[in-house]
């Protein structure tokens, strides 16, 4: 039976409340907090949309 290498892609949306002077600053703070987190899936509330196949190639 042939082998295939399959790449899966998961889309997740996270929501976080931040205090900021503007929407732009709020986005910057949220991105910085995300980047600094050791475990974003633990630190942020998220909602996944499942997993989809992104690519399939012969192995």
User: pLDDT per residue over 5-57, tens digit each?
Assistant: 999 988 888 888 899 999 999 999 999 998 998 887 777 777 767 677 888 98
Summarize pLDDT for 40-54 with one digit per residue, the tens.
777 777 776 767 788
Judge whether 9 and 51 are in contact, CB under 8 Å.
yes
32 to each of 3, 13, 28, 43, 48, how far by Cα in Å?
A: 40, 16, 6, 13, 21
**Domain coverage including residue 53:** 4-58
Q: pTM above the 0.75 mark?
A: no
Looking at the structure of the chain, the number of domains it has is: 1
Q: Which residues of 28-40 are buried (b: 16+ CB within 10 A; e: fewer)?
A: eebeeeeeeeeee
Using only C-alpha atoms, the chain has a radius of gyration, in whole angstroms, of 17
């Amino acid at each position: 039976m042939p082998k295939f290498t399959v790449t899966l892609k998961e889309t997740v949306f996270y929501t976080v409340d931040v205090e900021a002077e503007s929407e732009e600053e709020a986005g910057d703070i949220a991105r910085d907090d995300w980047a600094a987190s050791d475990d974003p899936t633990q630190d942020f509330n998220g909602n996944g949309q499942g997993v989809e196949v992104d690519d399939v190639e012969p192995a």
